[in-house]
Amino acid sequence: MGRRLILSSFISLLLFGYSNSFADDDDHDEAYELLRSGEILPLEKILEITRKKIPGRILEVELEHEDKQLIYELEVLDPKGIVWEIKVDAVTGAILEKEQD
């Protein structure tokens, strides 16, 4: 498993203006710079892509380094009550993996 860059609370802070905890300050800064520089897609775009494949409630979002690739990892609760783990390429938005959690 790759080094974790960011937790869902940080993404909430950046995109929705609130948070209940913070990731490591270095991770926070790195993730912010990746987003600001356009190296990764904004969460809004990732959520749009993901919801087309699996509609439901987002439970958790993380941004990770995996094998030299930046990955958004999402947990989604679908309308049937099934939790899905979805890995999305943070640069291209391609869904890399989708499995029941």
Range of the domain at 38: 4-100
Residue owning tokens 């800064």: 29
pLDDT tens sequence across 59-85 = 998 888 888 899 999 999 999 999 999
How far apart CA 23 and CA 28 sit, in angstroms, is 6
pLDDT tens sequence across 29-63 = 777 888 889 999 988 899 999 999 889 999 998 88
Our count of domains for the chain comes to 1
Count Cβ atoms within 10 A of the Cβ of residue 88 and give its class: 0-12 exposed, 13-18 middle, 19 or more buried.
buried
Name beta bridge partners: 63.
Answer: 6, 72
DSSP secondary structure code for residue 28 in this structure: H
Which pTM value belongs to this model?
0.72
